[in-house]
A and B are shown apart, each in its own frame.
Chain A
Amino acid sequence: MMGKLSIFDQLKKEGRSILTEFESKRLLKQVGIPVVETKLAKTQKEAVSLSQKMGFPVALKITSPDVIHKSDSGGVRLSINNVNGVKKAYDEILKKISKQYPDALIHGVSVQKMVRPGTEVIIGTSKDPQFGPVMMFGLGGIFVEVLKDVSFRIIPVDRRDAQAMIQEIKGYPLLEGVRGREPSDIPALEEMILKISNFVEAYPEIKELELNPIFAYKDCAVAVDARIVLE
């Protein structure tokens, strides 16, 4: 618990409200939410040894509080298969970022294990002026962006609410597994919703939290990207 408080304090001290992906994931991991293995490399050498330890393929992402849209600015490289690739990607990412954001504070480059694609799910929270923190659930990608196939509940969310909000979306049959698609671990998604509800309820300074995407598989679900914004 100390970890959470100290990072919130640290952000306040630095005068920023958005946690980096790395910070967000570290925090979520602490509260028991499965996230893709993500380590921070401060040097190219470190990036290489971390990726060797994790096993290829890996992804490299810029970690800076000043770079919000990581991929748009060339700060993300996916599916790197060997040591040379890691070295090259590390240099290129830093070069691009320092060109585009010469004043950016760089924490490092995060090294993440590439996981096989699962059914994409989004879980998020935001604050409603009348009801306070609210939870959203939906399928990721076009389902959330184009079809807006999502469900909401007011936090705190109980197990029955969590079940209902998963079953409520039109795309629910996709989670059950249709036409040979792998079914998703629905209880694991419920568990994630409940843990996030508890977390957000306990920390009113959290303004927005979003796990997007989460990859859901037959026997587990894991958050691939995450963002936490404080008040």
Chain B
Amino acid sequence: MESKVSEGDLSLKKSDLSFFFEPQSVAVIGSLREGYFGGYVVIKTLLNAGFLGKIYPVNPSYQEVLGLKVYPSIKEIPEKIDLALIMINRRSVPDVLRECAAKGIQAVIVVADGFAERDEEGAKLQNEILKIARDARIRIIGPNTAGIVNSANGLTPDPYEPGYKKVKKGAVAICAQTGMINPQAFPYGDLHYGVSKICDFGNKCDVDECDLLEYLEGDPSTKVITLYLESIKDGQRFLKISRRVSSQKPVLILKSGRTKEGARVSASHTGALAVDDEIFTAACKQAGVLRLERFREFFELPKIFSLQPLPKGNQLGIVTFTGGVGVLAIDEGEKYGLSTAPLSPEIVERLNAIFPGLGKTVVDIGPPMAVNNYMTIYSEILKAVLADDHIDCLFNVIWTSPFEEFVKEYLKFYAEMQGNYQKTIATWVYGPSIPLVNELSSGLEDLGFPVFSDLEMAIKALGMAYQYSNRKKGEA
């Protein structure tokens, strides 16, 4: 889907995408008809999210939309424009792009589709717009993109109706070659961990994963970067940049094309065995990038980095309501190099004093649940385990019980705990009532304790955190 036009002389630093994410003014060029898609929706979502910059709708057939003056063309806009969104028929895109160039606009998101992803004509058009952009020193995101988000300034120009107003602010940046990550597709308003930036590269004719990585490297609100990629535009550049960026912030990548179909015919063993996925895996290892395997992980695993401190080592502590879960957790932890060692003698003693026989490697809080002052005991147990020097991270299982008062008590306790621990905690919540599980889970995430969808995901989160802490140590 990528085009080939010579790089030319770019006056902008390759990674300077600030006009995209921090524009003072945005021109929205396209249909302003009220509906579920298009310029009207973009303007509505920008207004709903409280976008801090100016919005200039552009359309020759309208005078006003959503209380904003509409301009017949870009050149009629009296002020400087930082970012333009183009949502028009593909054949008109080159002309509008030339108008953007004349206006001195440096950042353009081409939402319009029908380019290299569709047919030969589209591929030619894509090359044409890229050439116009290079000559005018314009950077392009897209074409064929659902756009970008910056949660900090309310820049959510989504061409599809998301149905909620704001993307919750947080530290996770999400980038992909698909609109499956944009606000209309995921409940970023309800996701409790929050995101910093979102970017759908679309056909990535210009701005690509490396540009994004460089921009996010310097973005103070981003603590962790997740990428979904179908292809890498420039392997050597990707290796160099991702290695540098991942030494500062964790970079998590989900990549498609993991089959062996990419294997090339070759006379040597090396050539025949060097399939795309093997090579990409090797590149990730060299770059210190963490590789994701499933789409679900894409939204879940970044939480451990955005909400929790990194573990100092690989010693896994387990607090659970049943021994069985503990055994599964130990098995799962081994996959990622996590090991469960006995607790320190002082803590064993402290736990046994709370409840007889509690001081084991897997702290089983099922039995003490039966006692009357359970919540008091629970907080003492968790504090004791988290105080143990033998433990670097904790797999924390919580059973909601069928009673809402327990959920409230748990949340009260974790509110007190907030900021008062040094270990990495991954929590799994289960129970007999979906509303109670949801209530406790979202409450915990609001307090900064990430909750994972199942046991395996929680352990993998700890495993990745451990791997990344190793990678950081390796660089030091």
Contact with A along B262-306 (1 / 0, CB 8 A): 000011111101101011111101100000000000000000000
Residues of chain B within 8 A (CB-CB) of A92 are none
> Which residue of B270, B273, B281 has the most chain A CB atoms within 10 A of its CB atom?
B270
- CA of A227 to CA of B271 in the docked complex: distance in angstroms? 13
Within the complex, which residue of B268, B281, B474 is in contact with A227, where a contact is CB–CB below 8 Å?
A: B268
- The answer, yes or no, to whether B357 is at the interface (CB within 8 Å) is no
- CA of A208 to CA of B273 in the docked complex: distance in angstroms? 13
Among B232-240, B338-346, B390-398, B442-450, which stretch is in contact with chain A?
A: B232-240
- CA of A165 to CA of B266 in the docked complex: distance in angstroms? 22
Among A23-31, A83-91, A110-118, A151-159, which stretch is in contact with chain B?
A: A151-159
- The answer, yes or no, to whether B231 is at the interface (CB within 8 Å) is yes
- CA of A165 to CA of B279 in the docked complex: distance in angstroms? 12
Residues of chain A within 8 A (CB-CB) of B270 are 122, 124-126, 136, 208, 210
Residues of chain B within 8 A (CB-CB) of A148 are 273
Known: A134-B279, A134-B282, A227-B268. A152 touches B235 (CB 8 A): no
Within the complex, which residue of A68, A134, A145, A212 is in contact with B274, where a contact is CB–CB below 8 Å?
A: A134
Known: A131-B239, A134-B274, A152-B278. A229 touches B267 (CB 8 A): yes
- CA of A210 to CA of B273 in the docked complex: distance in angstroms? 13
**In the complex, residue of chain B having the shortest beta-carbon distance to the beta carbon of A151:** B282
Pair B281/A130 contact, Cβ less than 8 Å: no
Known: A132-B236, A134-B274. A124 touches B286 (CB 8 A): no
Task: Return B348 CB to nearest CB of chain A, in Å.
Answer: 36
Pair A212/B269 contact, Cβ less than 8 Å: yes
Pair B281/A152 contact, Cβ less than 8 Å: yes
Pair B271/A131 contact, Cβ less than 8 Å: no
Pair B235/A122 contact, Cβ less than 8 Å: no
Task: Return A201 CB to nearest CB of chain B, in Å.
Answer: 11
Known: A136-B274, A154-B239. A210 touches B282 (CB 8 A): no
Residues of chain B within 8 A (CB-CB) of A208 are 266-268, 270-271
Pair B236/A131 contact, Cβ less than 8 Å: yes
CB contact list, A131-172 vs B, under 8 A: 131-132, 134, 136, 144-145, 148, 150-154, 160-161, 164-165
Residues of chain B within 8 A (CB-CB) of A72 are none
CB contact list, B83-104 vs A, under 8 A: none
> Which residue of B231, B235, B286 has the most chain A CB atoms within 10 A of its CB atom?
B286
- CA of A126 to CA of B275 in the docked complex: distance in angstroms? 11
Known: A153-B285, A164-B285. A130 touches B268 (CB 8 A): no
Pair B286/A161 contact, Cβ less than 8 Å: yes
Task: Return B444 CB to nearest CB of chain A, in Å.
Answer: 37
Pair A130/B232 contact, Cβ less than 8 Å: yes
Pair B235/A130 contact, Cβ less than 8 Å: yes
**In the complex, residue of chain A having the shortest beta-carbon distance to the beta carbon of B232:** A130
- CA of A45 to CA of B166 in the docked complex: distance in angstroms? 88
Task: Return B79 CB to nearest CB of chain A, in Å.
Answer: 43
What is the size, in residues, of chain A's interface with B at 8 Å between Cβ atoms? 28
CB contact list, B150-194 vs A, under 8 A: none
- The answer, yes or no, to whether A128 is at the interface (CB within 8 Å) is yes
Interface majority SS (helix, strand, loop, mixed), chain B: helix
Pair A130/B273 contact, Cβ less than 8 Å: no
Pair B236/A124 contact, Cβ less than 8 Å: no
Pair B274/A126 contact, Cβ less than 8 Å: yes
Residues of chain A within 8 A (CB-CB) of B235 are 128, 130-132, 154
- CA of A128 to CA of B276 in the docked complex: distance in angstroms? 8
Pair A130/B231 contact, Cβ less than 8 Å: yes
Residues of chain A within 8 A (CB-CB) of B232 are 130-131
Task: Return A210 CB to nearest CB of chain B, in Å.
Answer: 5
- CA of A153 to CA of B284 in the docked complex: distance in angstroms? 9
Task: Return A144 CB to nearest CB of chain B, in Å.
Answer: 5
> Which residue of A124, A126, A151, A229 has the most chain B CB atoms within 10 A of its CB atom?
A126
Residues of chain B within 8 A (CB-CB) of A164 are 285
- CA of A37 to CA of B243 in the docked complex: distance in angstroms? 41
Pair A128/B268 contact, Cβ less than 8 Å: no
Contact with B along A195-231 (1 / 0, CB 8 A): 0000000000000101010000000000000010100
Within the complex, which residue of A68, A124, A152 is in contact with B269, where a contact is CB–CB below 8 Å?
A: A124
**In the complex, residue of chain B having the shortest beta-carbon distance to the beta carbon of A128:** B279
**In the complex, residue of chain B having the shortest beta-carbon distance to the beta carbon of A161:** B286
> Which residue of A122, A130, A153 has the most chain B CB atoms within 10 A of its CB atom?
A130
Pair B286/A144 contact, Cβ less than 8 Å: no
- CA of A165 to CA of B285 in the docked complex: distance in angstroms? 10
Within the complex, which residue of A122, A144, A154, A212 is in contact with B279, where a contact is CB–CB below 8 Å?
A: A154
Within the complex, which residue of B271, B280, B281, B286 is in contact with A126, where a contact is CB–CB below 8 Å?
A: B271
**In the complex, residue of chain B having the shortest beta-carbon distance to the beta carbon of A211:** B270
Task: Return B335 CB to nearest CB of chain A, in Å.
Answer: 16
Contact with B along A63-85 (1 / 0, CB 8 A): 00000100000000000000000
Within the complex, which residue of A122, A124, A154, A212 is in contact with B282, where a contact is CB–CB below 8 Å?
A: A154
- CA of A161 to CA of B280 in the docked complex: distance in angstroms? 15
Pair A210/B279 contact, Cβ less than 8 Å: no
- CA of A131 to CA of B267 in the docked complex: distance in angstroms? 20
Residues of chain B within 8 A (CB-CB) of A160 are 474
Residues of chain B within 8 A (CB-CB) of A150 are 269, 273
Pair A210/B286 contact, Cβ less than 8 Å: no
- CA of A45 to CA of B270 in the docked complex: distance in angstroms? 38
Residues of chain A within 8 A (CB-CB) of B234 are 130
Residues of chain A within 8 A (CB-CB) of B236 are 131-132, 154
- CA of A227 to CA of B269 in the docked complex: distance in angstroms? 11
Residues of chain A within 8 A (CB-CB) of B474 are 160
- CA of A126 to CA of B283 in the docked complex: distance in angstroms? 15
- CA of A122 to CA of B274 in the docked complex: distance in angstroms? 14
- CA of A145 to CA of B272 in the docked complex: distance in angstroms? 10
Having A130-B231, A134-B282, A161-B286, one finds 9 other A-B pairs with CB under 8 Å, namely A122-B270, A130-B232, A130-B280, A136-B273, A144-B273, A148-B273, A208-B268, A208-B270, A212-B269
Mind listing 30 A-B residue pairs with CB under 8 Å?
A: A126-B271, A128-B279, A130-B231, A130-B234, A130-B235, A130-B276, A131-B235, A131-B236, A131-B239, A132-B236, A134-B274, A134-B279, A136-B270, A150-B273, A151-B282, A152-B278, A152-B281, A152-B282, A153-B282, A153-B285, A154-B236, A154-B279, A154-B282, A154-B286, A160-B474, A161-B285, A161-B286, A165-B282, A208-B266, A208-B267
Closest 9 pairs between A and B when the two form their complex, measured CB to CB: A124-B270, A131-B235, A152-B282, A130-B235, A126-B271, A136-B270, A126-B270, A210-B268, A128-B279
